Structure 1
């Protein structure tokens, strides 16, 4: 039984430049800030950054893995607050997703408040989802 205050285990994702190339191909977002250090610097970024929607999607992946079969995400939203800088190394960077059950409604729906960090930086804010269980 899910209760308010339950914590999701932290799920860590590793992002590399190769992941950004694959995501660009799948999403159609070929903005050079996602592959060129020079272009990222031109617009004031500290380096190549991950697509915001990729970070949001990975947070949703952690959520649905925790929620399990029978759960449906009926609401999901976030604010993009900090870029996820992806160095040009084999190790890339880690994105850590955790969360807490904020509320369980009488109808059984579950609000989950997610925390998404890259190192010590919170990269997404107000990341919340509502899950519905059953038919």
Structure 2
């Protein structure tokens, strides 16, 4: 989208949503792209040895997937002015079932004059919130 009718935005309005499926090979590809080869992201034995419930998705992978519906809604990643999250729970990627991440993006507040908005993300995996205080400040001009 190139033009937003800021006057018609409503607090609480869902502006974007997405569902993302992760498999173990997704983690290996991300490790190669990011350079993060920590074995908790691909080896069950290592994850178990440090007390984890299983192989975990990379936090930055989860964070990147979570903002994608907002980027798609905006039509331009340069419209993201600020993005912050708190990692509240790990995303465990089962060797067979993988993991599903569900994202909902809602308007939390907006500034008509500045043509900016804060979008709050709800990021769920296995019926649990995995990112807390996930907030994106966006340019709607």
Which category of TM-score, normalised to the shorter sequence, fits these structures?
over 0.9
Structure 2 residue runs of 5 or longer lacking an equivalent are none
Distance 2:11 2:90 in 1: 30
TM-score, normalization by structure 1: 0.92
Q: Hey, which bits of structure 1, 4+ residues long, moved more than 3 A?
A: none
Aligned length: 133
Name the SS of the counterpart of 1:4 in structure 2.
coil
Deviations 1:31-88 (A, max 9, x none): 0000000000111110000000000000111111122248610010000010100011
Alpha-carbon distance between aligned partners in 2 of 1:129 and 1:86, rounded to the nearest angstrom: 26
Q: Is the 8 A contact 2:16 2:106 kept in 1?
A: no
Residue 123 of structure 2 corresponds to residue 116 of structure 1: yes
Q: TM-score, normalised by structure 2?
A: 0.89
Give me the whole-angstrom Cα distance separating, in 2, the residues matched to 1:46 and 1:70.
Answer: 34
**CA RMSD, Structure 1 to Structure 2 (Å):** 1.5
